[in-house]
Amino acid sequence: MSPELKALFEPKSVVVLGASELMGEDSLYAMFFRFIVGNFSKFKGKVHIVDLSGKLEGSEKKPNRAPRDRDLAVVVLPKELLEKNLPKLLTRKVRALILVSGDLEKKQEEGLSNLVKRKKLLLLGPNAAMGVINTANGLMATAAREPIIRRGHLAIITQDSSIAAMMLDRVHFHNAGISKFACTGEGLGVDETDLLEYLVRDKETNAICICINSLKNGRRFVEVIRETVKEKPVMVLKASPRLEGVFEAALRQAGALLTENIGELIPIAEGLIKQPPMRGNRIAIATNFPGQAILAARYLSEAGLEIATPSNETAKKITKKYPSVRIKGFVDLGATAKASHYKFVIEQLLSDEGVAGVMVINAIRSSLLESEDLCEIAEVAKKSNDKPVIDVVTCDEDYAIAREILADTKLPAYDRIENGARALKMHNLRWKMLEKLKQK
C-alpha cells in the first residue's frame, strides 16, 4: 500500500469538511475544525474549506459543491453529521481521507468500510484527531492547537490520539526535528505497518518512533520492522501489557529498540539520527560537577554499561595541558572549565582505544561554561564517526537553553542522566543489530 500513501503525506490539493459552530458536546468538533483550518496556513498546496455552518470567510457551505478530484480530504464532524455529509463529499472524488470523527456505532463503521472499499479510498481513522504532518511541504492536517514543529528527520507513528497529542508536546519540549507524523486512530484503513512501509522509503526520514496499543497482524508488523531496521533505527513504545512476552521478544529479534518510557522516546530517537552506533559498552565521562558523574555510574551500570577510565597516556595528555583537571575514573574539568577545555578533553577521550562513547555532563549557570560554548562540543561530536558523543544538561533552565542551541547540530542533548545512559545503551544495541545483519 505504501506508494498510495503519497496522497496522504504529499497531497497537491486538500478539502477540509467540518462545521465551525456546533452546540453541546459537538462543539469539540467545531473547535478541532477551526484548529485544522488554521494549521493549513503554511501548506504549499491548494486548500478548499467546506463549513456547514457557513461562517468561515471564503468557505463553501455544501459538500457536493467542493472541487472535484482532491488528493486529500480531512473530515471533522460528529457522527450524526458525518453520516449525512460524507457521502456527498465523496461524490466529488478524493483519493485519501483523514477521519477525525470518532465514537462511531458498529453499523456506521461497517458502512464506512464498505464505502471506502467501493470508492477505493485511502482511509486514516476514524478517531484520528492528530492526523498527519509532513514538515517538507507544510502539511499540518492535525487538530493540535498551533503546533510548533521543526523540520527534521524523525518520523512518529501513533494509534491513540491522546498519546499522539502527548508525543507532539514532547517533540516541542525537546525541540526535536520531525519529518513525518501520523495518528492511525482506530485503523479501519491505513495501519502502522502500512505507514512503516512508506517511511522506510522516505528520504526525509532517518529514524522512526512507533507507539502501539494493539495490532491486527503482528506477524506482518514484525516482518516489516525487520526490513526497516536495515535502513533506519526503529524505536517502539509499548503502550499495552498485551504486547509483552512472545511479541516483545519477536520485536527485539527483528531489531526494534523497545522502551516503556515516553519521556525518553523522542530525544533518544533523535540521538540515534545525530550520532553513530556504539561498538562496546565503556563510556568516558567529562563533567564540570563530579557529583553528577558519580550518579551517572549507577545509571550506566543499570543500562549494562560501565565507566571507562582514561588510559595513562590519555590522562597525561589531558593533565599536561590542563593541570587543574582531575581524573578519578571520570574526568572532572571543574566549574571553571571553558569551551577549549571540553574540546581538548573530548578529543583525547575519543582517541582512547578503551573508550566506546563519551557522555558530557555539565551545568551552565553554576559554572564559567557559557551556553555558546556548547557549540564547540557539538563541533567535536560532528567529527566523531564511530563513537557517539552525547551531552546531558541537568538543570531544567540550562537544558532549555541547550536544546535551542544544539537543535541543528550533531550533538544530542538530554535533560536527565538516566536518559543519557539509556541513549548510549540504544546506540550499542543498534551496533549489535547491524553487526548481526552483516553476518547473515
To the nearest whole number, what is the mean pLDDT of the chain? 92
What is the rounded average pLDDT of the residues 402-423? Answer: 95
Any bridge partners for residue 181, and if so which? 133, 156
- Evaluate if residue 396 carries a pLDDT over 80: yes
Which one of 253, 271, 289 terminates a domain? 271
Distances in whole angstroms, Cα of residue 58 to Cα of each of 48, 55, 242: 9, 9, 48
**What CATH number did the domain enclosing 406 receive?**
3.40.50.261
Whether residue 85 is found in the same domain as residue 161: yes
Clarify whether residues 378 and 392 are in a common domain. yes
**One domain for residues 130 and 162:** yes
pLDDT at 2 over 80: no
pLDDT for 189 beyond 50: yes
pLDDT higher than 90, residue 439: no
DSSP H helix total and E strand total for the chain: 15, 19
Among 222, 240, 271, the domain-final residue is: 271
Please, are residues 289 and 366 in contact by the beta-carbon 8 Å criterion? yes
Quick one: average pLDDT of 244-260? 86
**How high is the pLDDT of residue 315?**
97
Query: b/e for 99-137, b at 16 or more Cβ within 10 A?
Result: bbbbebeeebeeebeeebeebebbbbbbbbbbbbbbbee
Pairing of strands 139-141, 122-124: unpaired
Residue 86 shares a structural domain with residue 124: yes
pLDDT value for 423: 97
Going edge to edge, which strands form the sheet with 177-183? 139-141, 132-134, 177-183, 150-158, 207-212, 234-238, 257-259
231 & 287 share domain? no
**pLDDT per position as a tens digit, 345-355:** 999 999 999 99
Question: Under 8 Å CB-to-CB from 12, ≥6 apart: which residues?
Answer: 45, 46, 71
Q: Please give the C-alpha separations between residue 384 and each of 74, 279, 348, 377, in angstroms, as whole numbers.
A: 44, 13, 12, 11
User: Distances in Å between the alpha carbon of 14 and those of 49, 71, 138, 210, 396?
Assistant: 9, 6, 12, 26, 41
Total of domains in the chain: 2
pLDDT-derived band at 215 (thresholds 50, 70, 90) equals: confident
Residues 161 and 109 in one domain: yes
- Domain extent for 43: 2-271
Task: Identify the band that residue 288 occupies on the pLDDT scale cut at 50, 70 and 90.
Answer: very high
In this structure, the answer to whether residues 59 and 118 fall within a common structural domain is: yes
Closest CA to 365 of 318, 407, 400: 400
pLDDT of residue 116: 80
Residue 214: predicted pLDDT: 78
For residue 423, give the nearest of 372, 381, 370 by alpha carbon: 381
Tell which of 254, 271, 288 closes a domain: 271
Split at pLDDT 50, 70, 90, the class of 241 is low
What amino acid is encoded at 354 in this protein?
G
How many C-beta atoms surround the C-beta of residue 438 within 10 A? 6
- Amino acid occupying residue 263: G
Report strand pairing: 306-307 vs 330-332. Answer: unpaired
The verdict on 46 and 88 lying in the same domain is yes
Lowest mean pLDDT segment, chosen from 193-202, 211-220, 300-309, 379-388? 211-220
Q: Are residues 389 and 266 in the same domain?
A: no
* Percent of the chain with pLDDT strictly greater than 70: 98
Choose the weakest-confidence range: 120-124, 149-153, 387-391, 436-440. Answer: 436-440
**Same domain (yes/no): 83, 223:** yes
Which strand (E) or helix (H) includes residue 312? helix 312-321
Asked if 167 and 292 sit in the same domain, the reply is no
